Every structure is written in structure tokens, then in C-alpha cells.
Structure 1
Amino acid sequence: MKILFLSLLAFGIFPLTNGFQFNQLLKHAEMKEVSIIQFEDDGLAHFSYAIQVGNEMILVDPGRNPQQYYDHASSKGAKIVGVIETHPHADFVSSHLEIHQTTGATIYISMLAGVDYPHKTFDEGDVIKLSNNIRLKAINTPGHSPDGISIIVEENGKDVAVFTGDTLFIGDVGRPDLRESDGDLMATRIELAKKMYDSTREKLMVLDDEVIVYPAHGAGSLCGKAISDKTSSTIGAEKLTNYALQEMTKEAFVELLLEDQPFIPKYFPYNVELNINGAPAYQTSKDKVSRLEKNEKIDSGIVVVDSRNQEQFKKSHIQGAVNIMNGAKFETWLGSIVPPRSNYYLVAESEESLDKLISKTAKIGYEPFIKGAFVYDEKGGEKMEIFDQQAFDSNREAFTVIDIRTTGEVSKEKVFKNAINIPLSELMERTDEIPTDKPVVVHCGTGYRSAIGSSIIQNELKNVKVLDMGSDVKDYIK
């Protein structure tokens, strides 16, 4: 470990343990005084950063739980003196305000964000001097949001790295359609797409090819449509390989950027608002969640989010429950199915799982809406019939097939010719479009989403047999 630490330190980067993945060794730019750590949250495909020079540390786009940053700073004998927000995020809740209140660190954010909490504006021409040789320089890079900034790391007068927030990703750029009606600053998707063209061409692509690119998101984030699974890159590599940075007119760029963007989860506008105002303290807010007795008898008419695996759910569950399994995308689907500020019950198979799930809800600011959280293991609850693949294959016409994948996925490959496509993100509002004269079979691409979708349909279509195809769908995908 010591040898690895020393070999990476010369490049300003080294591994972080305790469950946080770190980017691979980059041999693009040598940084002798500054060290940069990348934290990764797999569930939200979110990257945050710690920049250290001497015994001072500045964070970039921190996630909801600040403890990971406190622990890291303590382990390095550093004091957190600043937090930079590249923009008010839509897909996760930041801990910038809590970190300021706990450590006294200065929050830096664009004046265009219009925030009211204590901060210093950080816009084009503004500089944070970390030593005689290290400076952080702000550049305004609107496109994903009107108030987006990127931060250039300058060492000995040379630009060596850039934190691009949601403006430039690896293999992609940020989507321009999330800020049309939220926050103090509003813009249409077309206007923002045009600004993205200018930001990439006039601000980022003019940097040296060797400059390392550190984005705020990786593959799986809904803030872009084609983000690479790489965790960092260089300006030169992106100019060669990123579809959005190729030579084209602004009009062609706008058309290309706007097509095939993923759906917008219900919680995105709420998170923008929460980040503009500043979220409450993470642990304090989690501690307020009401923990109920096992198999608690609960109020009807309130959504029950059952996080257990689909086999347990099908055998016995609370009437009206929605089966959002505790997986890699739990937070995203919770915030896509349950509207912000709507109360819900949270159910798990164990107290340990419940603890982890409450932490996941806090990432998107949904912990205050939990009416009660409890363990469920009753045997005599509601049931779902198991999908019989042989019966389905023997007479497919006897079933109504609902494909809950996105329209983009369906356009690339339709699994069943006569399937009705209702994307999962729209399903709660569109169940009345489903015919009720036959048993209904629900499928997605792997089996995770179909567990959610089939439970939603069962709740709405009381007198229809609803079957979750689950992972059997893989037998039909070419």
C-alpha cells in the first residue's frame, strides 16, 4: 500500500478505501503539490472530490453524507476550508450547507444560482488561491443548467485538471432539459442546448489536451444519455471520442443533444429546490424517521414501498405495496414512483437492511416523507402468481404483454411484437390504458423493473391476473 500511495501521489491521486471506489491511475498530467481524491456513489453514479494542498482541503459537489469527507480529511491531517458546488444538483442532495455549519468551510457557487445561504460567489475570473503555486479558477459553463460552472486546477501557471460538474461527462455532455421550471433561474432546453455548444467549444475544448477531466457523474446517471463507464479522461481524449464534441453546426448539435434523452424522475425538481435552499443535517434528519414494530398494522391509502426481493414479495406482502427492491437503483426508482412530499411506508426484511435503505432515501431527500419504517416477514399477506414460461410460450396470444422499458430501449429492440409499451416512470398514471380481458404479463430488460411494474399494475387492476416475467425475459432478448 505504501508503494502504491507514493507512486500515485506524484500524480496527485491515490486510492481511497472504506468502500469508495477510486479512479484508475492517470498518467496525463503531473501534479506535485495538489492531491485529488474521487469518491464514487454507485447508486446514483455520482462523483465528488477532495482537493488537498498542504493541510487545507476543498470539496467539490459533495454527496448527502458528509462523514466520509470528515473521515478523509482527518486521516490526512487536513481541514476542510471550502465546498464548491458546480450547480444546484437535480439527482442528489448535497451536504454543502451542513459542512459549512459544522466546519466553517466557505461555500462557493455561481451568483446565478440565487442561493440565500452563506456563500461566496464563484464565477468567471474568480480564483481560490491554495498556495503560491496552486489556484482554482472558475469558468461559467452553462448548458446542463443556467448556473453551471467548471473549476480549473492551475499548478505553476499551467492548467492540469478541470472539474466539469454536469457540463462535460466522459463520452457525453449534460442534458439540457432539467431546469425549465425550477429554481430562481429558468431556461428552455433549446436555449440551454445552445449554451452547452458554446461552453464546450469556447471554454472546455480550448484547454490543453493533457488537462484531466473530472466529471460529477459516470455511467448510469440520468443527467446524460451516453456517459462512459470511465471515471476520468482528458480534454484531448474527449475531443477525439466524445460524440458531442465532434465538429458540427450549433443547430445540428442542439438536435443531436435533445434526442433520446432519458426520462426525468419526479424527484429531480425537488432536489434542485432543496439544494438551492440547503438540506438539513444528514444524521439528524435520518434519526427523525419513525421506526415501527415488526409487521406493524398501518394506515391504508398510503404507499408502501417494499424493498424485499421479488420472491419474498410474491409469497406475502402488504396490500397495495410496491416492490422496489433494494438494489443499485433503489433511490432513482423510489424518486421516480413516489412523488416528492408524498408520505410512504418503508418495508425491509431486516433492521440492517432498513438502516441502509433509510440512508439511500436521504441521498435524494426523501427521508422526511417516511411515515414509518419497519421489518415485514408475515406469511399470510397478499400474494402474486408466479410467471409460467411454458404456459406463456404455448399460447402468447392469451396474454396481454406490457413492456415497461423506456421508449428508447423499445425502439432499439422490441422483444414481443404485440406488446404495449408503457415506460415504468409513467406507469402509475397510465394503468387505465391496459386491457383487462386477459392475464397481464409485465417485462423489462432484466427483471428488476418488472417487479416494480407488476406490483403497481396488480394494485390498480384488482380483478386481473398480473404476472411478472422477471429474469425470464433474458431468454427472449437477442
Structure 2
Amino acid sequence: MLLERIYDEDLSQAGYFLGCQQAGEALVVDPRRDIQVYLDLADHHGMRIAAVTETHLHADFLSGTRELAAATGATVHVSGEGGEDWQYGYAAERLHDGDALTLGSLTVTARHTPGHTPEHLILLVTDGAVADEPGYALTGDFVFSGDVGRPDLLDEVAGAQDTRFAGARQLFASLKSVFLTLPDHVQVFPGHGAGSPCGKALGALPSTTVGYERRFAWWAGHLAADDEQGFLDELLDGQPEPHAYFARMKRQNREGPSVMGERPVLRELTAQELRRGMEEGALALVDTRDVAEVHRGTVPGALSIPALGQAASHIAWAVDPETDDVELVVLAADARRAAEYGDHFVRVGVDRLIGYVTSLDALETAAPGVVSPEGLEHLRADGGTALLLDVRRRSEHAAGTIPGAAQLSAGKVLFRRDELPPREAGRVITFCQSGLRNAVASAALRRAGYDVVELEGSYAGWARWSAGQKEAAAPA
């Protein structure tokens, strides 16, 4: 038996490649859209990808199930559970509770585990060469290392009303009727790790066991005492704020993500081509330098994606491909590096990266608006400021913010502009914790026509300055 975890640090997402070496057949579970990693694994192990499946309709990334099936001829299997409202909208084999897939000596059995979503499945893997019962569980967003999947995303991103309570009860029931009936030795391989907003206390460990979670997970005591209400209260309290693009992911994954096929090779653009394209509104530059470099000068109207390791989530904050048909050009050292950005972008359905530039030297640049903590009050007092905006999460804002600041997280600013003052109302001063998220959000707003000034050092810088002011004013 072969079982390999493919982990995306950007989105804290895990997919799995498993199969029978003797039969030469493999199954891929929860793949992302840049599929070369799965093709390379199949080639390395001399295996054929015979089937592709996913545990549920994802909200945090765009599924690569159809992409991989189109490239390999694999059969697609998706959940047929959850009722009429939660059926996949494209042709595929449907899996119901108890259905099994066979790959040589391996048997992969689907179990319906509603709660995170109504259609959610986990996959129990039996290695028939050595055992006659499951030894492994691919749990998707049902059980994580140290946590369980949140049941409130349908309310938060899919427009449902108060489904979180029914989902939480379903999750409690699924833990009792499925997960806790498994033997302690069963190894658990979840769909996400630490940093994912699909839960609030996800561990960084790549795997766990049923026995460990039964004994040490926060929810275990509630299940042991049959304390459903205590479980619901603790589960629903303090869940992290989801990003606005999750609604698009959920919808596109249900309808069936478009199949890209072989992606075109990115080409290097000249400064003249980029300048003309930006003037015509056909192109947008993605400035990939760090925040300090961008503050020294960037091309007006450029987006800011300061870290490749977070490029997928950040580009989904800055571009809505359903309403913005602009083509993207990335600042990158070479074609290979540009292609890496393209891989991250397609994981969230931003497919229109066409090329790259290696330098801004031949382009006109300007420093974006930045104000120091000391100058903040002077700028607010001059009458031209419409809003001081904290783009951190709600929980961060509640724990302490700059007096008078409103809150709208960086992942929502582009999509909730009805909560911002009109563009003509005046400048918006923005901040996050250290400046990284703020750079992404402020550049997106500038491209959308807002007059944005970033707070230098963001909240951390302001807090240090404020503490210094208080210390200086204290009696000797």
C-alpha cells in the first residue's frame, strides 16, 4: 500500500495519493488544480491514477478533481449524500454511505459524516494485503488533529440561515456514530493543518489516531458525557472569520470548476506592453516585492502580493475573477518563478496570469500614501479622512485597536465596498497587525479607485509609539 500526503502550505490544505503498487492503480483524494505533483507521483511509482474523489464541497480552495480526471482519464467519484440541495452539478459517480472503491488489494469505504457540510464523507482505507479491517481514515474537514470542522461556513459564505446549529448537532452525532466506533489504532489523515480557517484550533501535526483524539481532543469530554449542548457552545464560540472568496469557491466547486487543460507558457512582457495594457485597463501588475520595497515606489494601480507562500489566499482577496476580466502580469525573476505564482493563483480560480516582467526600472513608479503613527492624528484632523480602517480579523479588532477605527478584514474589503464610504468622500487610512495584509488590501482598494493611506508599521507600530508617548508623559 502507498499513502502520500500532498500539503499546500499556502492554504493549509492536504490532499492524498494512495494506491496498490502491485496492481499499479492509485486514487487521489482532494486534489488541487495545479496537478503536476500528482502526475509526477504516479510516474515516479509507476502507477496509473484510476480514480479521483473528494471528501466534500470545499469552500477554501478550488478543487482539482475534474482537472486531474481530464488529464488522466480517471473516474470521478463524489458524494451523493446531503440531500437535493447539496448535490454536485456535474457528471460523476456518486458515493453513498458504505460504498467502496477497490484498487488492487486496497478497499476504500465511504462513510457519511455530515456536520461540517451536509454531504461530507470520510474514507476508510483497508490494506487487504495485511488486514481485513480499516487502518486509515482520510477525514477531510470532519476531524483534524486536535479539532473538528466548523459547522457555520454555510451561514457565513453560502447564504444559509442558522444552519450552524443543525450542523453542529450533526457533527456531534457523526462523531458518536462513525468516528468513535473506529478502533483506537486507526490513523487519521485530515484535510487541513494549522492556519486553516476551516476550524479554530487545528494542530500542526500531519496525522493523529482515533485513540489520541478520543482521549485528548477538546471535544472528547463532551462526547464521553453525552453533553451535546456543551459541545455546541464550545464548537460555535470564536470560530475564525472566513474570507469573502469562500462563497465563490463553494459555488464553483458545486457547479464544477472549469478544466484548464495544458496551461500556456508565460511570456516576458516589455515595459511598453505592460504600460499600454495598464493604461487600457486590460492588464494589472502584481508587485511581488516586500512591503518596504513597495513603499519606496511601485507602479500606480499595481496589486501587492508580498509573499509567494501566501499568494493563493492574497490574490483571492485582491481579484474577483467573476467580475474582473483583467489579465495579470507578475513581477518575477524568471519564467520559472512566475509559473510558481501561477500555480498558487489557479488554486483559488484566478486563471488569467499571462506573463511576467523582471524589473520595474523602465516603468514610472510612485510611493503609495503612507503615514507614521505620529502623523496619524494630524492626518485625521485635517478633514480629508473618511475612514480609519482596521483590516485585521474581528477577534483581533475586539482585542484592541486604534480609537475610532472601523473593522473590515483584508479578505473582505474588495467584496464589501458597500460598507466603505464613497470613493469621493475622502481618504481611507488602513492598518493590520504588521503591514503585510494591509499591503494586499490597500493596493486592491487603490486599484478600485480609493484614496488609501497605509499606517506605517500598522497596529504593532502604533502600539509601540503609543506606549512610548504614555511613558514620556508619565510623571518622573
Q: Same fold (TM over 0.5)?
A: yes
2:393 aligns with: 406
1:152 aligns with: 124
Mapped contact 1:292–1:372 kept (Cα < 8 A): yes
Measure, in 2, the Cα distance between the counterparts of 1:129 and 1:291. Answer: 47
Q: What amino acid sits opposite 2:125 in the alignment?
A: V
RMSD: 3.6
Deviation readout 1:265-309 (Å, 9 max, x if unpaired)? 23223223333343344453x428897533422246677643332
Measure, in 2, the Cα distance between the counterparts of 1:340 and 1:60. Answer: 26
Cα offset for 1:101? Answer: 2.7
Measure, in 2, the Cα distance between the counterparts of 1:472 and 1:396. Answer: 19
1:384 pairs with 2:357: no
- Flag structure 1 segments of 5+ consecutive residues without an equivalent: 1-33
Cα offset for 1:167? Answer: 1.1
Aligned residue runs from structure 1 range 363-382, under 5 A = 363-368=347-352, 377-378=360-361, 380-382=364-366
Measure, in 2, the Cα distance between the counterparts of 1:335 and 1:218. Answer: 20
Q: Match of 2:420, SS?
A: helix
Measure, in 1, the Cα distance between the counterparts of 2:108 and 2:453. Answer: 60
Q: What amino acid sits opposite 1:164 in the alignment?
A: T
Cα offset for 1:418? Answer: 5.1
Distance 1:343 1:311, change over 3 A: farther
2:10 aligns with: 43
Mapped contact 2:5–2:14 kept (Cα < 8 A): yes
Distance 1:122 1:463, change over 3 A: closer
Q: What amino acid sits opposite 1:293 in the alignment?
A: T
1:107 pairs with 2:82: no
Mapped contact 2:266–2:355 kept (Cα < 8 A): yes
Cα offset for 1:162? Answer: 0.4
1:216 pairs with 2:191: yes
Q: How many residues align?
A: 439
1:4 aligns with: none
1:296 pairs with 2:275: yes
2:328 aligns with: 346
Measure, in 2, the Cα distance between the counterparts of 1:170 and 1:415. Answer: 32
1:122 pairs with 2:109: no
2:60 aligns with: 91
Measure, in 1, the Cα distance between the counterparts of 2:103 and 2:288. Answer: 45
2:298 aligns with: 317
Distance 1:80 1:458, change over 3 A: closer
Measure, in 1, the Cα distance between the counterparts of 2:380 and 2:74. Answer: 63
Distance 1:149 1:292, change over 3 A: same
Mapped contact 2:60–2:246 kept (Cα < 8 A): yes
Distance 1:431 1:200, change over 3 A: same
Measure, in 2, the Cα distance between the counterparts of 1:467 and 1:344. Answer: 29
Cα offset for 1:345? Answer: 4.6
Measure, in 2, the Cα distance between the counterparts of 1:393 and 1:269. Answer: 35
1:427 pairs with 2:400: no
Q: Match of 1:208, SS?
A: coil
Distance 1:65 1:256, change over 3 A: same
2:287 aligns with: 306
1:256 pairs with 2:234: yes
2:136 aligns with: 161
Q: Match of 1:209, SS?
A: coil
1:74 pairs with 2:43: yes
2:472 aligns with: none
Mapped contact 2:285–2:331 kept (Cα < 8 A): no
Q: What amino acid sits opposite 1:431 in the alignment?
A: L
Measure, in 2, the Cα distance between the counterparts of 1:423 and 1:181. Answer: 14
Distance 1:191 1:300, change over 3 A: farther
Measure, in 2, the Cα distance between the counterparts of 1:401 and 1:138. Answer: 50
Q: Quote the sequence identity (%).
A: 25
Mapped contact 1:123–1:138 kept (Cα < 8 A): yes
Measure, in 2, the Cα distance between the counterparts of 1:178 and 1:141. Answer: 16
Using the size of structure 1 for normalisation, the TM-score is 0.79
1:448 aligns with: 436
Measure, in 2, the Cα distance between the counterparts of 1:98 and 1:453. Answer: 30
Measure, in 1, the Cα distance between the counterparts of 2:247 and 2:74. Answer: 27
2:471 aligns with: none
Mapped contact 1:457–1:466 kept (Cα < 8 A): no
1:9 aligns with: none
Using the size of structure 2 for normalisation, the TM-score is 0.80
